[in-house]
Structure 1
Amino acid sequence: MTRIILDIKKNLEENASIYFDRAKKAKKKIKGVEEALKRFAQQQQTLEKKQDEYAKEQRTKAQPKQLQHWYEKFRWIRTSQGLLCIGGRDATQNEILIKKYTKPTSIVFHAEMSGSPFFIIIEDHASEQSLKEVATTTAVYSRAWKLGLGSAEVYYVLGEQISKTAQSGEYLTKGSFMIRGKRTSYHPRLEFAIGLREQELLAGPPQAVQAHTENMVRLVQGTQKASEIAREIKKKLSYKGHIDDIIRLLPTGKISLSR
């Protein structure tokens, strides 16, 4: 029940006038509050729309790029000669590379240590410089980088020298093969680079990357994790994509930028 307090010093009309004025003021306040609430609701809708747009933009930026070429699921480089070379990321990919992509005349690289990737030069007519660059890449992506070695022994053979048939009494695990016949060996230094050409990332020995772009950074064995160094590389190269695109190209182990 609403209580109405009357001023006994005033007559009925005067008391009614007071309450009428109060009612008008209250109505104005209510109208002001309603207008303020309406403005707030509009501002809230605008803010939520902007937040949705920003979140959508960030999700788009945050997604690693879709692989555009079949070879990008593997390790890969382009030599200074422009030849495509692909390598295995693990034992399964090593198995796929040898069985699916290796021809009898293919040049196939491997480091003289367990866990090394196989690297294949997909195209023919490789120059000596290209051979050296693929040898370096094979060494970098082997365990040699993680072990902190300055160089590693790498060799190449032809595809026809590789077999899945083990010696009598032996067993070949997934990704392992028998190599028979002559080997051509290299002892490359472990040096690597990441470059950017029209927002396309390139990896490989410095000479190979530099042949395709001047926008590059050199990597050495160091102290930083892949995620940390990837952020630095992204900034230095002005790469607009996700750092995961860079991490995919890095060797296993601690890394620093060459000063």
Structure 2
Amino acid sequence: MEITLDIRKSLEENAGVYFEKAKKDKKKLEGAKKVVEKYKHKLSSLKEEKVEKQVVVKKKVKKEWYEKFRWFISSDGFLVIGGRDATTNEIVIKKYAEKNDLVFHTDMSGSPFVVIKNKKGEEISKSTINEAATFTAVFSRAWKQGMATLAVFSVKPEQVSKTPKPGEYLPKGAFMIYGNTTYYNPEMKYAIGIYQDKIMGGPLSAVKKNCKDFVEIMQGNQKLSDIAKLIKKKIGGELDDILRALPAGSKVKK
């Protein structure tokens, strides 16, 4: 290191100049160190934030075949499916109504066809039958009209036919019912909950049994999108899935 002395100044004055310069250089160095530490901390925070974002990636839940329909799991573990419209009514009956199943419908136009799936051929419990009847009534026009109940009937799959009586015509989603029917007058009690990471809407008794977190739904005229947002806030789930599970003419029970 070279030191240049000013011959016009004394030795003490020259030493003072270098002392002041050293002080300034030290301050600059300390400032530079602070800047480096600041950016190190910022970089570390960004890395942590990135890792955290990677960890919080939502798990994609596999869609089951029955989710394209209305569905719920009964309080006794039976899968119950129902049509959403004329097209899915056709599919539910033609493709998925099988031996040992039980089919539900109403005499009210526009009602869904609902099927209790019973692949094992077990005796279907009364609670499951009542829940399927409730499900059928809730997604009929009776719910939106504020009716307290609706007559719902059940038949075996072989009693449901696409063959009309002579001179009659069956539109898409409509079927002829032949033989004896059994009628029920279910309560209109409905709820939406989380079942195995999926949004499940169904009779209150079934949702209570299968879902830890749920919201009870009543007949009303609240905007469906507002209801869906409220449910999402309370129990989570995707808005689209919640909307698909909501019957028209509803409100959240307070």
Normalised-by-shorter TM-score class: 0.7 to 0.9
**Any conservation in 1 of the 2:86–2:174 contact (CA below 8 Å)?**
no
SS of 1:43's partner is: helix
Matched, 1:77 2:75: no
Q: Distance in 1 between matches of 2:22 and 2:61?
A: 63
Shift of 1:136: 0.4
> CA shift at 1:90, angstroms?
3.5
Q: 1:98 aligns with which of 93, 100, 104?
A: 93
* 1:54 pairs with 2:52: yes
Residues 157/20 of structure 1: CA separation in 2 closer, same or farther (3 Å cut): same
* SS of equivalent to 2:72: strand
Identify which of 183, 186, 193 aligns with 2:184. 186
Distance 1:242 1:49, change over 3 A: farther
C-alpha separation in 1, matches of 2:100 and 2:227: 36
Q: Which residue number corresponds to residue 38 of structure 1?
A: 36
Q: CA deviation at 1:99?
A: 2.0
Give the 5 Å matches for 1:120-135: 120-123=115-118, 124=121, 125-135=123-133
Contact kept, 8 Å, 1:119 with 1:138, in 2: the verdict is yes
Given the superposition, is the C-alpha separation of residues 164 and 202 from structure 1 closer, same or farther in structure 2, using an over 3 Å criterion? Answer: same
> How far apart are the structure 2 equivalents of 1:149 and 1:233?
28
1:237 maps to: none
Distance 1:95 1:12, change over 3 A: farther
**1:109–1:157 CA contact under 8 A, matched in 2:** yes
Distance 1:161 1:213, change over 3 A: same
Q: Normalising by structure 2, report the TM-score.
A: 0.73
Amino acid at match of 2:178: G
Of the three residues 239, 249, 252, the one matched with 1:253 is 249
CA contact 1:81–1:130 (8 Å) conserved in 2? yes
Cα distance change of structure 1 residues 181 and 165 upon mapping to structure 2, 3 Å threshold: closer
Q: Structure 2 counterpart of 1:156, which letter?
A: S
Alpha-carbon offset, residue 122 of structure 1 = 0.8
Letter in 1 for 2:43: Q
Partner of 2:4: none
Could you tell me which residue of structure 1 aligns to residue 174 of structure 2? Answer: 177
Matched residue of 1:116: which SS?
coil
User: Which consecutive residues of structure 2, in runs of 5 or more, have no partner in the other structure?
Assistant: 1-6
Distance 1:25 1:195, change over 3 A: same
Please state how far the C-alpha of 1:249 moved relative to its aligned partner. Answer: 3.8
Question: Identity of counterpart residues, as a percentage?
Answer: 33
Count of aligned residue pairs for this structure pair: 239
- Assess, with a 3 A threshold, how the Cα gap between structure 1 residues 169 and 192 changes in structure 2: closer, same or farther: closer
Mind listing any 5+ residue stretches in structure 1 that lack a counterpart?
Answer: 1-9, 235-240
TM-score by length of 1: 0.72
Question: In the alignment, which residue of structure 2 is the partner of 1:65?
Answer: 61
Asked if 1:161 corresponds to 2:156, the answer is no
RMSD (CA atoms): 3.5
Q: Secondary structure at the match of 1:76?
A: strand
Amino acid at match of 2:132: V
- After TM superposition, give the deviation of residue 192 of structure 1 in Å: 1.6
